[in-house]
Structure 1
Amino acid sequence: MSITLILIILTSGISIYAWSHQDLLDKWVFHPFSVNKKNHWYRFITSGFLHADWMHLFFNMLSLYFFGGVVERVFMSNFGYEMGIAIYLLIYLGGMIVADVPTYIKHKKDYNYRALGASGAVSAIIFSSILFNPINLICLFAFICMPGFIFGVIYLIYSYYEAQRMGGAINHSAHFYGAVFGFVVSFLLVQGAGQNFIDQISGWRIF
Structure 2
Amino acid sequence: MRSFSIHFSLKKSVSLTKKNCMSETNLVVILLIVANVLFSLKGFKEYSFFERYKFNIAGIQKGEQIRMLSSGFLHADSMHLFFNMFTLYFFGPVVIVYVGILKFLIIYVASLLVGNIFSFVFHKNEPHYSAIGASGAVSGIIFSAILFRPDMSLYLMLIPIPIPAYIFGIGYLLYTIYGMKSRRDNIGHDAHFGGAVGGYLVTLIMAPWLFEQNLLMIGILAIPIVILFILQRLGKL
Asked if 1:108 corresponds to 2:132, the answer is: no
Of the three residues 109, 120, 129, the one matched with 1:93 is: 109
Whether 1:138 aligns to 2:154 is: yes
Residue 169 (structure 2) aligns with: 152
Q: Which residue of 2 aligns with 1:41?
A: 65
- Provide the aligned C-alpha RMSD in A: 1.8
For 1:148, give the aligned amino acid: A
- Answer whether contact 1:15 1:50 (CA < 8 A) is retained: yes
> How much has 1:194 moved relative to structure 2?
2.7
Calculate percent identity across the aligned residue pairs.
Answer: 38
**1:112 Cα deviation (Å)?**
2.2
Q: Given that residues 131 and 183 in structure 1 are in contact (C-alpha distance below 8 angstroms), is that contact kept between their aligned partners in structure 2?
A: yes
Q: Name which of 214, 225, 229 aligns with 1:197.
A: 214
How many pairs were matched up?
192
CA contact (8 A) 2:110 2:202 kept: no
Q: Which residue is 2:29 aligned to? A: 4
CA distance in 1, matches of 2:161, 2:185: 24
Amino acid at match of 2:175: Y
Q: Distance in 2 between matches of 1:75 and 1:169?
A: 34
Deviation at 1:180, TM superposition (A): 1.5
Structure with greater helix percent: 1
TM-score, reference length from structure 1: 0.87
SS at match of 2:162: strand
The CA deviation at 1:102 is: 2.5
Q: Structure 1 CA distance, aligned partners of 2:161 and 2:31? A: 30
1:71 to 87, 90, 95: 95
Q: Check conservation: 2:154, 2:163, Cα contact below 8 A.
A: yes
Structure 1 distance, partners of 2:125, 2:217, is 46
User: How far apart, CA to CA, are the structure 1 residues paired with 2:130 and 2:217?
Assistant: 41
Unmatched runs of 5 consecutive residues or more in structure 2: 1-23, 219-237
Q: Are 2:36 and 1:15 aligned? A: no
- Deviation readout 1:58-81 (Å, 9 max, x if unpaired): 1100010000001011112xxxxx
Cα contact 2:116–2:191 (8 A) shared by 1: yes
Asked if the contact 1:32–1:110 (Cα under 8 Å) also holds between the matched residues in 2, the reply is yes
Larger RCO (CA within 8 A; separation ≥ 6): 2
Please say if residues 35 and 108 of structure 1, whose CA atoms lie closer than 8 Å, have aligned partners that are also in contact.
no
Equivalent residue, structure 2, for 1:172: 189
Three-state SS of the structure 2 residue aligned to 1:140 is coil
Cα distance per residue 1:103-122 (max 9 Å; x no partner)? 21233343321100000000
After TM superposition, the score normalised by the length of structure 2 is 0.76
CA contact 1:130–1:149 (8 Å) conserved in 2: yes
Q: Extract unaligned runs of 5+ from structure 1.
A: 77-84, 202-207
Which residue identity is paired with 1:124? G
Residue 51 of structure 2 corresponds to 26
Residues 125 and 182 of structure 1 are in contact (CA less than 8 Å); yes or no, is this contact kept in structure 2?
A: yes
